[in-house]
Chains A and B, each alone.
Chain A
């Protein structure tokens, strides 16, 4: 499901633009096709336009230009309540004056569903999130995680084909958040509903999604599966935003095939996989993941001198800050394995990495 064409997309953004003030574009020419049953995450820093996209899809904002299609039909002029899209809000938006049961019953009531059918569906939805015993509670009597489950159940109870989630786990503590990530993912697998999920938390995006659209500055920087995104970032922003990343800046001296030879500003020449680096003579950003750097290697490609500046013990690994090719912020993760030699601060050693683990990206 790495690509979905515009023709068979369930949700399609077709050249969508959005501006609030008529001067700047919050969303710039967005093209995105989401397949039926897909779990797609819009990931990006705040102000990147991801929430605006979600709100346009839900119908609370109107696109300034372009079409949004749902199931092949343009929905620009359909009001939110006729779109039939379930939604989970950042602060849950559970109605405080209704009980949990009434909250879940609400979307069914406005659909004029019979009482017996309503009750059955509410019970099923509550059982689905293991909250069956809480039907008569008020939202204020529930913990954050419980409210989150109710909000989830409420968005699914009327069986929409599409559910939007706007940073639904943002208010939970870390442990609960991780637990809820799995639960949402399992629900998605079980129900086969299409989910569009907005978050600024990259680990959340990687854990749950089929595909992730990384937003920045109103543009999708990269749309890919989680592993592609982490291992094969296409530009410097994505490399920097997803996971930890060492940056080395330099000038491209030679390109042969997909291998670029780069002269790093801090001195020294390294080879990297040419991804998005432009032509010979252009500037580039090299991206190397901290866990792909080998310390104390005697031979191999890209071997350079390094000096240990700082060591942080983190249990399962040791985080080591080094000076490499003039960069004082070069991070290396050393697994805490029995056979690994202990480093000390000030020690001079060598580091190296495989050419394809170092990606030559745009110069930004």
Chain B
């Protein structure tokens, strides 16, 4: 046939590898072509927005763009050294321009985030900036004594950074100081870690609750004959066909203090009319509603894994002398772990970013981190902090994903 030493060639003399690559190219191109629309959509509608938003968490060029002179001068200033005339002159010059361009409000808002109470300092000083005469430092201090305070200038130095870790640090209750050091936020500002911990606690409890409630149902589903298991499966899936909003609000009707459940409690004498349980607009309400809503996400992966476990395993264990409980724990349960892992990961990741349910039934102490992101996006308009909080959430999710991969192995996950 072909020369034993050279590469293998086809009948017409083309090297086999090249011929194969040519033959494969068409099928690869076809596969790529089929996936291209979705790929393009995901890149445009999903990946780019996420990347740009996350970028905002560390990138804030507003101050540097509006106040270029101040930004340049501040670079060389040591936060502990006295305020110089040069800085004051640059600030006044920038303020004059910013006032004319009506951008001083943005600067004031930005600096105010670093040092609360400086908003009016900036806006009112900017109004007078045009008339100020050198020496500017004295003129500024004359306008407001705060200009003599190093803290004001330290806040400016922090905001003058285009790329800043300040938002990310703030998202985990840390403070980025002008000298580059990192300290904890003052006690009363430490809210995000508390919120993050609460979010994880709620997600964890919801995950455990769905597991405890879902495991027996999934087991039943997998052992019933097909006809009855299909019926039961429809019941499990039924909630998917109703709006999330309807399901959440129906829990309000059930759980509120004048609601169905409390009325029943009073009727059966479990509690009195005066001491009705408060089960909604708090963490309890969030836990109940979220457990209910996320239950199918636990049951379905569990069911799909359990369906593949032949009954002969447990029978074999029993025939070897294992009591039913031992047979379950040592033989059945370990084989259902991939389903538990998939279900738990799914529920946990969905729960950690849950928004509508805590917003509707969460009240004061049932708010989760997503609600805070929403608050910064829509109310306080601090998109940078919202992005930073989103980044922290993403990191937490990725961490749990990694942990899962280490403990169970992503390859073991079965979703269907």
Interface residues of A (CB under 8 A from B): 58-60, 79-87, 89-91, 93, 95-97, 106-107, 110-111, 154-155, 158, 164
Contacts and interface: CB of A to CB of B under 8 A. Distances in A.
Given A91-B310, A106-B330, A81 B324 contact: yes
A259 B74 CA distance: 124
Interface in B307-328: 310, 312-313, 315-324, 326-327
Contacts of B327: 81
A97 B305 CA distance: 14
When A and B form their complex, which 10 residue pairs have the shortest distance between CB atoms, in order from nearest?
Answer: A107-B320, A93-B316, A87-B319, A93-B312, A80-B318, A110-B322, A89-B312, A81-B318, A97-B334, A110-B321
Contact of A81 (B310, B312, B323): B323
Contacts of B324: 79, 81
Max count, chain B CB within 10 A of own CB: residue among A82, A84, A89: A89
A87 B320 CA distance: 8
30 contacts: A59-B319, A79-B318, A80-B315, A81-B321, A81-B323, A81-B327, A82-B321, A84-B321, A87-B315, A87-B320, A89-B316, A93-B313, A93-B315, A95-B317, A95-B331, A95-B335, A106-B317, A106-B320, A106-B322, A106-B330, A107-B320, A107-B321, A107-B322, A110-B320, A110-B322, A111-B321, A155-B319, A155-B320, A158-B320, A164-B319
Contacts of B334: 97
A59 B312 CA distance: 13
Contact of B316 (A59, A82, A87, A111): A87
Given A58-B315, A87-B316, A110-B326, A97 B335 contact: yes
B330 A58 contact: no
Nearest to B311: A60
A53 to B, nearest CB: 15
Contacts of A95: 313, 316-317, 331, 335
Contacts of A97: 334-335
B336 to A, nearest CB: 11
Contacts of A106: 317, 320, 322, 330
B319 A58 contact: yes
Given A59-B319, A85-B319, A89-B315, 15 more contacts: A79-B324, A80-B315, A81-B321, A81-B322, A81-B323, A82-B321, A91-B310, A93-B313, A93-B315, A106-B317, A106-B320, A107-B320, A107-B321, A154-B320, A164-B319
A236 B145 CA distance: 116
Nearest to A97: B334
A86 B312 CA distance: 13
A193 B109 CA distance: 88
Contacts of A83: 319
A139 B321 CA distance: 21
A86 B334 CA distance: 23
Nearest to B326: A110
A96 B335 contact: yes
Contact of B312 (A91, A107, A154): A91
B407 to A, nearest CB: 14
A205 to B, nearest CB: 22
A205 B145 CA distance: 105
Nearest to A84: B321
Contact of B321 (A93, A96, A158): A158
Nearest to A60: B315
A106 B334 CA distance: 14
A276 B17 CA distance: 72
A95 B316 CA distance: 9
A60 B315 CA distance: 7
Nearest to A90: B312
Contacts of A82: 321
Interface in B288-313: 310, 312-313
A95 B322 CA distance: 13
Interface string B320-349: 111110110011001100000000000000
A89 B334 CA distance: 20
Nearest to A111: B321
Nearest to A86: B319
A317 B323 CA distance: 55
Max count, chain B CB within 10 A of own CB: residue among A60, A85, A110: A110
A155 B316 CA distance: 9
Contacts of A110: 320-323, 326
Contacts of A81: 318-324, 327
A138 to B, nearest CB: 13
B326 to A, nearest CB: 6
A87 B317 CA distance: 10
Max count, chain A CB within 10 A of own CB: residue among B318, B322, B331: B318
Contacts of B322: 81, 106-107, 110
A200 to B, nearest CB: 18
